[in-house]
């Protein structure tokens, strides 16, 4: 595999392989010196055109734990501010010979375009409303770690599905792994065409809450909403928020997940976030091991013959 642009690039077997590798890198991350030489001499460039805390830091830590070099790129301090196009920026960075470009952009499809402009491997770190494959992978890994498997689990994804690249990638990954997914949202925050999605739909969190293994909350993405799709945040919380009263009706052992950043008290009540079945910090921790697995899969097999083998 050369690029990771979509969860579909992996399929069910690929997701299994990432999780197996992530088990190994979780063990590496627990060592006193959490570092292996697997990607020594490789360079990973970060191309983040949109804000990020966990995804960007997680990729940087993952690359460093594999002994790769990291090229940082902050849009706010780059020539993008002087009007340079994405294509010219990619050409410039590619001329420095990175092995991988980790790309986040506000428009869907940009990582796919970038893959056509560079010889490096491209990893989609979130493109518009479209996909965020490494988030879905770390979520699969977290569910397997806590519940033993994704297969057969009933997963409720609640919130702003329409604007969520996380929801799209998670639906693909969870269903590929054999979970039953129910999307819960106000009608205005569902995508217009859902016919091809392998999911059930509900407008009521109360109706599905007591019968699931995972409640996966999504951030209300005010910055992506061009029109008023919600009457108010208070009303959102009253109907679709995971309040303490609703959390008390979940199965004991059912997980509370969220990709972060969370609007405390809007999508999930603060006291629910502090409960042991809330996995937000574990998701972040697993994100490092899963991204190590992805970088290793894409860059680990060295296509260049080694000099000593050349001479043999
Ligand atoms: C998400 C994103 O940026 O797509 N965050 C993340 O990467 N963990 C979700 C969000 O912004 O709501």
Reading the chain (312 residues) residue by residue, the pLDDT tens digits are 999 999 999 999 999 999 999 999 999 999 999 999 999 999 999 999 998 999 999 999 999 999 999 998 777 777 887 888 999 999 999 999 999 999 999 999 999 999 999 999 999 999 999 999 999 999 999 999 999 999 999 999 999 999 999 999 999 999 999 999 999 999 999 998 888 899 999 999 999 999 999 999 999 887 766 666 777 888 999 999 999 999 999 999 999 999 999 999 999 999 999 999 999 999 999 999 999 999 999 999 655 544 444 443
CA of 166 from ligand 1 middle (Å) equals 7
- Where does residue 263 rank: exposed (0-12), middle (13-18), buried (19+ CB within 10 A)? middle
* Strands (E) located in the chain: 43-48, 69-71, 100-105, 121-127, 154-158, 180-184, 200-202, 214-217, 255-257
Give the chain's count of helices (H) and strands (E): 12, 9
Q: Measuring CA to CA, how many Å separate 23 from each of 31, 102, 200, 290? A: 13, 22, 31, 8
The answer, yes or no, to whether any atom of ligand 1 lies below 6 A from the CB of 165, is yes
Q: What pTM does this model have?
A: 0.94
CA of 288 from ligand 1 middle (Å) equals 15
The answer, yes or no, to whether any atom of ligand 1 lies below 6 A from the CB of 166, is yes
300, 38 in Cβ contact below 8 A?
Answer: yes
The answer, yes or no, to whether any atom of ligand 1 lies below 6 A from the CB of 128, is no
The answer, yes or no, to whether any atom of ligand 1 lies below 6 A from the CB of 186, is no
Q: How far apart are CA 32 and CA 107, in angstroms?
A: 40
Domain residue limits, the chain: 7-131+284-310, 133-280
**Which CATH code of 3.40.190.10, 3.60.150.10, 3.40.50.1100, 3.40.50.1370 fits the domain covering 7-131+284-310?**
3.40.50.1370
Task: To the nearest 10°, report the CA torsion of 108, 224, 194, 109.
Answer: 0
- pLDDT at res. 312: 36
Second CATH level (architecture) for the domain 133-280: 3-Layer(aba) Sandwich (3.40)
Q: Measuring CA to CA, how many Å separate 238 from each of 194, 204, 242, 245? A: 25, 11, 9, 11
């Amino acid at each position: 595999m050369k690029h990771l642009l979509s969860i579909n690039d992996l399929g069910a077997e690929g997701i299994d392989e990432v999780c197996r590798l992530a088990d190994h890198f979780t063990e590496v991350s627990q060592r006193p010196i959490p570092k292996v030489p697997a990607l020594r001499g490789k360079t990973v460039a970060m191309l983040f055109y949109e804000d990020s805390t966990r995804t960007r830091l997680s990729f940087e830590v993952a690359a460093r734990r594999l002994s790769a070099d990291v090229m940082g790129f902050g849009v706010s301090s780059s020539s993008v501010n002087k009007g340079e196009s994405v294509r010219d920026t990619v050409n410039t960075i590619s001329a420095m010979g990175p092995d991988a470009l980790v790309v986040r952009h506000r428009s869907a499809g940009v990582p796919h375009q970038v893959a056509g402009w560079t010889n490096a491997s491209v990893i989609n770190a979130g493109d518009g409303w479209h996909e965020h494959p490494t988030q879905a992978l770390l979520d699969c890994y977290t569910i397997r770690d806590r519940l033993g498997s994704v297969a057969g689990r009933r997963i409720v994804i609640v919130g702003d599905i329409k604007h969520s690249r996380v929801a799209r990638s998670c639906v693909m990954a969870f269903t590929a792994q054999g979970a039953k997914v129910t999307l819960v949202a106000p009608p205005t925050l569902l995508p217009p065409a859902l016919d091809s999605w392998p999911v059930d739909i509900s407008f009521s969190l109360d109706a599905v809450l007591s019968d699931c293994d995972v409640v996966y909350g999504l951030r209300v993405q005010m910055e992506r909403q061009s029109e008023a799709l919600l009457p108010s945040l208070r009303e959102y919380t009253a109907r679709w928020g995971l309040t303490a009263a609703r959390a008390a009706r979940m199965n004991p052992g059912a997980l509370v997940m969220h990709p972060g950043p969370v609007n405390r008290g809007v999508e999930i009540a603060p006291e629910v976030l502090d409960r042991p079945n809330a996995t937000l910090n574990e998701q972040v921790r697993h994100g490092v091991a899963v991204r190590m697995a992805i970088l290793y899969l894409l860059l680990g097999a060295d296509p260049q013959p080694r000099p000593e083998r050349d001479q043999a």
